[in-house]
Structure 1
């Protein structure tokens, strides 16, 4: 039997759906009882390995839940469903507090300057710390562009509290190397470990916990700190209101901008019959001001290409497709195609939103502001992310019922 790589499982919607349907019988109590065990590189069968496709919306959150609930009761599949909703929660939380993303970028950029020649940082990034488990995770992340979620938590805790390195640079390291690197999930998870997300609560990696859930592969009993003081607390900004969708004109020539944030464009709420041109904008390189992993760049570029090519093949042969066009040329392209509007599926807070904003500033001057279309999932789920996750979690049964996922 051919074993598909993480990239192959997630590169296309067809492959991701096939894998999800194959493993869905295991996403109940089997997933619940085994998901926390990290068995090592290329041995992560206790989890779905579909996070890259869900992050890029090659596979939609509600699809993953719906398919899972075909095989399980909500009670038995609650752990898996909750993991899906964690991503939605993080995105909603950051969407309502976008300055947290900007603050992270500003602090990261300053820390990159302040720590650029620091030996401790260099050794950590090279996996040369004297902490076996940490070094192994650095190697795994660089070579496979993936880490088990439990390992990500341990890694972040050791980075911040044992190695005493800036959390922003650890978050930057992850975002550059993870295929599923998500601005919201990554930034806020690192903040949570550091004690910046929940007042007075930091996450401390414990040697016994690492030993247990790595099945004895590692036991850093004498290598890691045993106490952790949360970093200095700053009250997060009050949540802003989620934007409402703008009206999309019907029966007019339309240019579609596709980003790496939402690649399920075939079934998206778009004016499909009016689309005469598609421009892809890939902002993966902007995850950091330093070099992003070649494998991550290649994956996002190929995923966009697969999605758009499939869309053009199915919907119409007359659509003009321009891959990663220069943003300054977009008004000229729009004029050449004779379009009356430009639309894009909404990109949440992160590099893509930043890029689309820059394009909008250009096209708006030409009388063609970008109309962003937010999915119903986001408009209905994100407003619940006003406080902590466990308050958000209370709404999950309501959301599942609202979207007829059972």
Structure 2
């Protein structure tokens, strides 16, 4: 990623540059990873989509306009993120279980092993894995097929807990999405679809790395993973009425505006930005808040502590925070913790984008059961609009 941070202008430039390859060329070449210096096969737009500097709907519609039906594979891959997110939203217990494990004595013991230390420092002796480790730490990115193979080697060859691998990814990925990351690692381990695991092979790695790697000694059998009881589905939050009192717009890493915040009849008293995450993301949050403040002639305050948030709300004379939906994950957990520590209660009003509301509701089963809803999403008049604006 560029050292100056992430911007919507960069996202739009990348999309325009990649569009000629978003059709049949993408379907043919998307699994080939020639290395970090040759990125033509994939868009590398994931960090921008992850933080909603550009919306999934913008990518999907641009590809369909450019290529018609030939863009279906690219559109499917864009929609996988929406599917993963909806799947986890309806199963918050999966995230809670993952977090609990990371805090456990078992996890701490695993972190002290020589195998774990070799893995996170790229010194396992498995050439592909070690190069990918360095690439991840240095660039904050890995090609999707490299991620799959990395996770497989971590779980099945090195026999390390999948949760620690997922945490290692989230620590370094600029596009780190709690839902896609957690559920993808569970899939590799054999937990997402019981009885199905992903075992990386030297032949597949050779092909997908364009001949750069052909590691030996990879596991041919899956690591044993304790099976879990089925997780019951939790209902998704429904739309809420727009607050009538003066409100503070809360900007977080979860949604940096994409094609607009659609403020409508919100009585905007001010803007508060929760600056969190890696340096490029934090800079993008602050820049988004400042730009919107200039556009709306409104003051902006940055915060990362309860006292700073309380001071912002008090200064603006507001009783409510209005924000884009905070999905299951670190940002939501941290913000609810901050709000819970404030001396004066503040109401949190979350707005769900229509694209998310429809996609998430369709993610109760597998992706192929989800896939028919993509046509509905593509036909929406304003997919980036908010559900409570209907």
Q: What corresponds to 2:348 in structure 1?
A: 370
Q: Hey, what's the Cα distance between the residues in 1 that align with 2:312 and 2:78?
A: 38
Q: What corresponds to 1:12 in structure 2?
A: 7
Change (3 A) 1:266 1:50: closer
Q: What corresponds to 1:84 in structure 2?
A: 78
What is the CA deviation profile of residues 304-355 of structure 1, one whole-angstrom value per residue up to 9, with x for unaligned ones?
Answer: 0221122112221xx2211124223433432232124221111110011112
User: Are residue 112 (structure 1) and residue 107 (structure 2) matched?
Assistant: yes
Q: What corresponds to 2:92 in structure 1?
A: 98
Change (3 A) 1:314 1:225: same
Change (3 A) 1:350 1:263: same
TM-score (norm 2): 0.93
User: Are residue 305 (structure 1) and residue 297 (structure 2) matched?
Assistant: no
User: Are residue 321 (structure 1) and residue 296 (structure 2) matched?
Assistant: no
Contact 2:276 2:282 in 1 (8 A): no
Q: Hey, what's the Cα distance between the residues in 1 that align with 2:250 and 2:382?
A: 30
Of 49, 58, 66, 1:54 maps to 49
Gaps of 5+ in 2: 384-390
Change (3 A) 1:230 1:377: farther
Q: Hey, what's the Cα distance between the residues in 2 that align with 1:280 and 1:112?
A: 33
How far residue 10 of structure 1 moved from its aligned partner, in angstroms, is 7.1
TM-score (norm 1): 0.89
User: Are residue 174 (structure 1) and residue 169 (structure 2) matched?
Assistant: yes
Query: Superposition pairs for residues 118-157 of structure 1, below 5 Å?
Result: 118-157=113-152
User: Are residue 256 (structure 1) and residue 263 (structure 2) matched?
Assistant: no
How far residue 299 of structure 1 moved from its aligned partner, in angstroms, is 1.0
Q: What corresponds to 2:374 in structure 1?
A: 396
Change (3 A) 1:91 1:198: same
Q: What corresponds to 1:232 in structure 2?
A: 226
Q: Hey, what's the Cα distance between the residues in 2 that align with 1:338 and 1:139?
A: 48
User: Are residue 357 (structure 1) and residue 326 (structure 2) matched?
Assistant: no
How far residue 271 of structure 1 moved from its aligned partner, in angstroms, is 4.5
Of 188, 191, 199, 1:193 maps to 188
How far residue 130 of structure 1 moved from its aligned partner, in angstroms, is 1.3
User: Are residue 346 (structure 1) and residue 339 (structure 2) matched?
Assistant: no
Corresponding residue pairs, total:
382
Q: Bigger CA drift: 113-122 or 6-15?
A: 6-15
Gaps of 5+ in 1: 1-5, 285-296
Contact 1:13 1:59 in 2 (8 A): yes
Q: What corresponds to 1:3 in structure 2?
A: none
Contact 1:9 1:15 in 2 (8 A): no
Q: Hey, what's the Cα distance between the residues in 2 that align with 1:116 and 1:125?
A: 10
**Helix, strand or coil at the partner of 2:355:** helix
Contact 2:254 2:326 in 1 (8 A): yes
User: Are residue 23 (structure 1) and residue 1 (structure 2) matched?
Assistant: no
How far residue 174 of structure 1 moved from its aligned partner, in angstroms, is 0.5
Q: Hey, what's the Cα distance between the residues in 1 that align with 2:263 and 2:121?
A: 45
Q: Hey, what's the Cα distance between the residues in 1 that align with 2:25 and 2:3?
A: 24
**Helix, strand or coil at the partner of 1:70:** helix
Q: Hey, what's the Cα distance between the residues in 2 that align with 1:177 and 1:249?
A: 37
Q: Hey, what's the Cα distance between the residues in 2 that align with 1:265 and 1:355?
A: 23
